[in-house]
Every structure is written in structure tokens, then in C-alpha cells.
Amino acid sequence: MIRRTLAVAIKEFLHLRRDPRTALTLLAMPILLIFIFGFALSFDVKHIRLVLVDEDGTRAGREVAEAFLRSGYFDLVSHERDGRKLNALFDRGRAQAALVVPNGYGAALADGRPTTLQFVLDGSDAQMATTILAYARQIVASISPVVRGREGAVLGLPVVWYNPELSSARFLVPGLVAFILAITTVIATALSVVREKERGTMESLRATPLFAPELLVGKTLPYLLVASGSAAGSLFLAWALFGVPLRGSLFWLGVVTVLFLAGGLGQGLFISTLADSQQVAFQLGLLTTMLPTLLLSGFIFPISSMPTALEWITHLIPARYFLVALRGIVLKGAGIEVWWPQAGALAIYAVVALAAGTLRLVRSL
């Protein structure tokens, strides 16, 4: 049993070796994506064009402005005495944010009365606005203790856990691992089966006494190894380049990953029964993994901010569960008591996909 599975695996491995383009794609794609997502597609925002509207003109007001500039995120483009020009500056895109220090701010602080700062944002790019707002909150919080020391005035004090720098890489890398694994397992599996159909070798394979599991496990084993290698490589690169830590247990990381991979394998097998050519298999694989994983898994766009109908659909995307567990393990070091519902969902996905894929394939054989 094991030897026959191995015979198939060796054959499949030889195919991979003879086709260095596929092997290279499987290994190089993750590295490329890490670079693209880590550097180019970074959500970290820098050089934000800030306008300071200092109606107050006191030392307290200047201190706030200095704190913003010291943070390194903001560039001062204009210093105004009042807000008359503000609209024009935003309209022309010269300003992305404005810090308004209202008249009487310094006096209020000196008297120990509560007071407010106004922060104006260009919200046309919601993603960026959210990020800028987060920076602003942090800066204000950082000066709050000083302010509070001058009696009474309480400003908001947000605290960011797990990812204090709100680094995009930390947020994106677990998603990227899920993304790579979903694509490679599903597509590689589907292609490797459809290729046999296209070549006509499937007929000869069926005439051998190989059991379906021997054939299927043997065929997918090499791809699983490559995909796991890619995943490990991605996590390593993320650590080396962006300092993304691996806080949780490797064992549990392995368990949820295997569940996710098994599901992808089943999904790939299922696709192979629908497609008669490698091209169709590739497109079906891409369509059912890349887009949902990219858009609906919470990889990039938070699920909580989706419309209800769309949010419902996300429950059908396996990467959604994998991502929660993965982020939990990698970023928070969370144990199974935290993400067991997600692990359960992945187990269901694995069982359903594998059963459906295998049954359909065996029947179509």
C-alpha cells in the first residue's frame, strides 16, 4: 500500500523535476508575493500631507503640532492662522489631513478645563483615512500623559495590541500563506489529474490494480510537500524581512495547515472531475481559490465591514477560518481553546471536500 503510493509519488516528483517551470512557479510565486505585498502593497502610510491650523497660537498648541511631525508619518505642507483656506487645500489635494488647534486651547489646558483638538481627514480613500486616524490617535495618546499632568484634561487613549506599529506585513503575511496554499494545492491537484486524462494515461492507470487512494495520495504528495515548503518559506521570509514573529506552537500550526491543505486537495480533485482540459482546470481552480481568498476571506478586506449578504458568503470560504487560526497562532500565540471553532470548520471542509472529490473522481474513472 505505502510502496505503491510511493511509486506514484516518485513518478509525480519526476514530472515536477522535468518541468522546472511549474516547480519554480510554485516556489518563486510566494517569494514574489511576499515582496509585492510586503513592500509595494503596504498599507503603511507615510509622508501624509498635514496642514496645521493654529488659531490658538500658544505654546501648548505648538507642542501638539511638534508631536505630529516628530512621529515621522506627517509632512507639514502649510501653517495657517485660521481655517479659511482649508477647503481649497483639500480640494486641490494639497492636504490629506489637518490638525486644528482651536482658539482657547492653551488657556483651557492652563485652567484645567476639558478641551478638544480637531483632526480633519480626507476620507475619499477610506483605507488610508483609517490608517491616518489610527496614527493621529496614537500621537495624541502619547502626549496625553503630559497633558494630563497639567490636571484633568482627558484625551482618548487607544492601545494597539499584537501589532503596535500597525504594520501591514504582520497583518498580511498570514493571509498570504493561506492564499498561496489555497492556490497551489487546489490548482496543482486538479492539473495533475486532468493532465493524465489529457495524455490518455488515466485509462492505463485505471487498468492497474492501484486503489484510488494510493493513486490520489501518491499524486498529490509531492505538491503538498512543495506547498508546505512554500508556506514555511513565506513565514521565514516574513520574519526575516518584516519581523513577523511566530509566537504560537508549531504543532498546532501544522495541524490547522494540514486540515486546510486536505480540503484544498479535495477541492482540486473535485475540479478535476469537472474539467477535461488543463486550461479549464486552471481557470476553475483560480476562480474558486484566488478571488474568494483575496476578497472574501478577510485577507485584505475586513469581513466585519462587509454587507450582511456578502458576510454570509464568507462563511463558505475555507481560507476565512484558516486565516483566523493562522493569525491567532502566528501573531498572538493563541492556543486551540481560542480558535477551535475555526479548526472545526476546517475539519468539516476537509472531510466534505475530500469525500466529494474522491467519490466523484472514483465514479468518473
Residues that bind another protein (CB under 8 A): 3-4, 6-8, 10-11, 14-15, 18-19, 199-201, 203-210
CB 189 to another protein: min, Å: 18
CB 322 within 8 A of CB 348: no
Q: In terms of CB distance, is 92 or 363 closer to another protein? A: 363
CB 194 to another protein: min, Å: 15
Q: In terms of CB distance, is 200 or 302 closer to another protein? A: 200
Q: In terms of CB distance, is 26 or 172 closer to another protein? A: 26
Beta-bridged to residue 53, according to DSSP, are: 80, 100
CB 219 to another protein: min, Å: 12
Q: How far apart are CA 268 and CA 210, in angstroms?
A: 20
Report which of 74, 76, 77 is spatially closest to residue 92, judged by C-alpha positions. Answer: 77
CB 346 within 8 A of CB 259: yes
CB 232 to another protein: min, Å: 28
**DSSP codes of every residue in 10-40:** HHHHHHHHH-HHHHHHHHHHHHHHHHIIIII
Q: In terms of CB distance, is 278 or 293 closer to another protein? A: 278
* Burial (CB count within 10 angstroms: exposed 0-12, middle 13-18, buried 19+), residue 183: buried
Q: How far apart are CA 155 and CA 148, in angstroms?
A: 8
CB 207 to another protein: min, Å: 4
Residue type, 305: S
C-alpha angle 93-94-98 in degrees, rounded to nearest 5: 100
Q: In terms of CB distance, is 18 or 92 closer to another protein? A: 18
Q: How far apart are CA 222 and CA 8, in angstroms?
A: 10
Q: In terms of CB distance, is 15 or 332 closer to another protein? A: 15
Q: In terms of CB distance, is 7 or 36 closer to another protein? A: 7
> Which cell numbers in the block locate residue 89?
487645500
CB 165 to another protein: min, Å: 48
DSSP single-letter state for residue 159: -
Report which of 349, 345, 365, 14 is spatially closest to residue 213, judged by C-alpha positions. Answer: 365
CB 331 to another protein: min, Å: 42
Alpha-carbon distances of 191 from 6, 220, 255, 284, 306, rounded to whole Å: 19, 10, 25, 10, 33
Q: How far apart are CA 27 and CA 23, in angstroms?
A: 6
CB 209 to another protein: min, Å: 4
Q: In terms of CB distance, is 4 or 360 closer to another protein? A: 4
